[in-house]
Structure 1
Amino acid sequence: MSRRAFLLGVVALGWSAWAMTFGDTAFASEATAGSPLATTHDDSHAGHAHADPHSPAAVTQYVCPMHPQIIRDEPGTCPICGMDLVEKRVEPMTDRYPPVSLTSAVVQTLGVRTAVAERGLLWRAIRTLGRVTYDETRLAHVHPRASGWIEALDLRAEGEPVKRGQTLAEFYAPDILSAQIDFLLAREGRSGARIDTDKARNLLRLLAVPDDVISAIERDDRPRNRIPVRAPMDGIVTRIEAREGMYVTESTEMFRVADLSRVWVMVDVYEHQIDWLKPGAPAEIRVPARPGRTWDGQVDYLYPELDPDTRTLRVRLVFDNPDLSLKPNMFADVEIFGGPKRDVLKIPAEALIVTGTRTSVVRALGDGRFQPVDVVSGMQRDGVVEILSGLEAGDRVVTSGQFLIDSESNLRASFQRLSEPGAEGAAAAAHSGHGGH
């Protein structure tokens, strides 16, 4: 047996096995006749290819079973492998994505389901995950105004609540003591005073000496070695760096106080969701730690740039927290509302085919015929997606099994492009240098 005859036998055996295995569920479009899934057999079998009355007249061409890019208008042999060309039927390509015809048996086997594109109301909303954090406008960092030593510490641990004006520590600073002496000298009008009384009093204030302490110094006519450090606001002490006997400088953050009666929630919003998002939009959160409770707030700020890696926009939300139930670093389920959008053309989101280079759906044309259509999608919520272009109200789209139909249509388009003028020369050039088998 010659090598050529052996190869022909192997190919014929493989095609026969395919027809026996998949013949009952094959696509009914004759356009698949040139694809690896195509067969040439009697149309009387259920589920096999049948002529599409809506398509232009088909023509007969000949293709190599091993190199489908080799297409001739008359019988012959493949210039690459030497195998005999096999007859196939090709319909002229009039669409970018040719329609695919399926028998009712195949539709049932694939579980093809459809839905109608319709106009209606679509509520604009974004669901995302957020993180509770401090409101940075309600954080106070307590630093000394002069270098000195912590003489007494009234706080013992982080997390203690404090009130505005509450003494946190007392410390001694030589510069503050010197400023007190200048204040007393200026007040008495002594010749040794370097500045007048008002300037001396302002200097003490700039050194964070409280007004009541300045009044006591003035009343007692003597300086104080220890100056109190007081809480600038109501809140929770979230950081303590000062310890008794510790030497501190102007750069030392002795305490940090946070007002948790209002908190921020930071979220990341995808690029395609930010069209209607703006400050003031209402928002709602739920946290796993407080089941059954919700908090109402609003969008406070949209950050100026997107994250280059995640392609998301950072958004800041603000929520009142009077009972301090929301704790920093809690995770929160967030929903941001944008109001209703009326007269929207919408379809089930499961009908969309998103490949990264195109967004499409498969439209049902009736009589078992289906065709992929490129669309532009918009807002998406609760399993429904807005369609900006590509469909009309009343169009029926496939919601289950559309990926197989889309793949078959693209495969058919690829084979038909190979049959166009010039395709053969390009294919031959691509295979130049390959020897025959």
Structure 2
Amino acid sequence: MKPSDLSPKDLFKRISKLLVLLFLIGYISNCSSKKDIYYCPMHPTYTSDRPGTCPICNMDLVKRENHPDHNSSNIKAPNIQKEDHSEHSSEKMDDRDDKELSVSFEKQQSIGIKTELVERKNLIKKISAYSSVAYDPELYSALSEYKEAVRTSEFFSASVLNNLQLRLRQLGLSPEQIRVWTSGARDPSELVLGGKSGRAHIYSQIYESDFTSAKVGLPIRFKTDAYPDKEFVGKIKSIDVILDKNNRTLRLRSEVSDPKQLLKPQMFGDAILEVSLPNTLAIPNSAILDTGKQKIAYVQTAPDKFKAVSIQTGRNIDSWTEILSGLKEEERVVTESTFLIDSEAKIRFGSNSHPH
């Protein structure tokens, strides 16, 4: 029978049945078309419905777990599915509350996560300081004036002597060095003519960030291109009290052994200081993420769980960073792929998932 031979009523019934059938087919197809979503840990905005590599950085794509099904948002699901979804939401909120990130062993391997223990270490910080053999006519004049004033102190008031001594302090001498230089144990002419008695005076410049590590009495090694195979060993004798405001450096004054008087005034070189830092709580630099507002590290709380913690750091010693607070000894922190696990946390918990 042709459609033209049907009555309008029969034609309407057939069309209605056809529409219902098409709706059922679409619904069944939609329910069965759920696909896994894969994303790039480095570029989370790139997604795919199949495994592969990121076209931007060639990193292996990672399967997104528990992603919401956007395609079924307009279809009323059975009651049992609503209950399951409610349980999932509750679990996700728990993750947000304690900030623990679950990462399967497979995913840890795929993004290259490695961890290390937080330990106390005996570290040595090496500081290289631009240096020169002393040529200091200003200090020579100040020492000569003070030495003469002390010799003829009956002609000077106490305030004059105090002012001359204050000038020496401003030029970087300690009270003990002032006593040594003016007692006859040191000849001020060494500061302009070169070292005597088998020693040379070395002036070194260290940056503001390092001056807390430098101490009087600390060993120092001086090297110069004039004698590339020779080291001149000595100790720091005094540290200036005034910082250079232009280059933010502080001057160290050292004495090194030079029995053959090889070093000449204004000869340039480098001084190496080695500062011992025993029993220092430290972690690798790679374990630290600097957000601009704070520094964080990811602690492994279980074999498949990680938690971001805020930390306070101290000195940097080569590839290690001193930890002042936020971490405890024997905790385990992520040291490789730290950025990737942080990106994963932002995907799960949002961009404000870092501890405050």
Superposition TM-score tier, normalisation by shorter sequence: 0.5 to 0.7
Q: Which amino acid aligns with 1:300?
A: K
Task: Report the counterpart of residue 283 of structure 1 in structure 2.
Answer: 220
CA contact (8 A) 2:39 2:48 kept: no
Task: Report the counterpart of residue 263 of structure 2 in structure 1.
Answer: 326
Q: Percent identity?
A: 19
SS of the equivalent of 1:301 reads: strand
The Cα of 1:139 is off from its aligned counterpart by 7.2
Q: How does 1:102-121 map to 2 (within 5 A)?
A: 102-121=103-122
Q: Does 1:129 align with 2:129?
A: yes
Task: Report the counterpart of residue 238 of structure 2 in structure 1.
Answer: 301
Q: Deviations over 1:29-85 (max 9, x none)?
A: xxx9xx74678999xxx942336xxxxxx9x898xxxxxxxxxxx97xxxxxxxxxx
CA contact (8 A) 1:295 1:319 kept: no
Task: Report the counterpart of residue 335 of structure 2 in structure 1.
Answer: 399
Q: 2:129 & 2:213 partners in 1: Cα distance?
A: 19
Q: Deviations over 1:62-112 (max 9, x none)?
A: 8xxxxxxxxxxx97xxxxxxxxxxxx9693276689343333343233322
TM-score by length of 1: 0.45
Q: Does 1:335 align with 2:273?
A: yes
User: Structure 1 residues 347, 233: CA separation in 2 closer, same or farther (over 3 Å shift)?
Assistant: closer
User: Structure 1 residues 378, 283: CA separation in 2 closer, same or farther (over 3 Å shift)?
Assistant: same
Q: 1:353 & 1:305 partners in 2: Cα distance?
A: 35
Task: Report the counterpart of residue 286 of structure 2 in structure 1.
Answer: 350
The Cα of 1:260 is off from its aligned counterpart by 4.0
Q: How does 1:95-244 map to 2 (within 5 A)?
A: 98-123=99-124, 125-136=125-136
Gaps of 5+ in 1: 1-18, 52-57, 63-73, 76-87, 142-231, 237-256, 418-437
User: Structure 1 residues 300, 39: CA separation in 2 closer, same or farther (over 3 Å shift)?
Assistant: farther
Q: Does 1:388 align with 2:324?
A: yes
Q: Deviations over 1:146-195 (max 9, x none)?
A: xxxxxxxxxxxxxxxxxxxxxxxxxxxxxxxxxxxxxxxxxxxxxxxxxx
Q: How many residues align?
A: 247
Task: Report the counterpart of residue 50 of structure 1 in structure 2.
Answer: 65
Q: 2:347 & 2:39 partners in 1: Cα distance?
A: 20
Task: Report the counterpart of residue 366 of structure 1 in structure 2.
Answer: 302
The Cα of 1:347 is off from its aligned counterpart by 2.0
Q: Which amino acid aligns with 2:262?
A: S
The Cα of 1:285 is off from its aligned counterpart by 2.9
SS of the equivalent of 1:304 reads: coil
Structure with the bigger percentage of strand? 1
CA contact (8 A) 1:101 1:370 kept: yes
SS of the equivalent of 1:92 reads: helix
Q: 1:391 & 1:354 partners in 2: Cα distance?
A: 16
Q: Deviations over 1:180-239 (max 9, x none)?
A: xxxxxxxxxxxxxxxxxxxxxxxxxxxxxxxxxxxxxxxxxxxxxxxxxxxx98779xxx
The two structures, once aligned, show a CA RMSD in angstroms of 4.5
Moved more, 131-140 or 372-381: 131-140
User: Structure 1 residues 353, 280: CA separation in 2 closer, same or farther (over 3 Å shift)?
Assistant: same
CA contact (8 A) 2:221 2:234 kept: yes
The Cα of 1:397 is off from its aligned counterpart by 1.3
CA contact (8 A) 2:41 2:344 kept: no
The Cα of 1:393 is off from its aligned counterpart by 1.4
Q: Look at both structures and tell me which one has the larger radius of gyration over its CA atoms.
A: 1
Q: Does 1:259 align with 2:194?
A: yes
Gaps of 5+ in 2: 1-35, 52-60, 75-87, 142-186
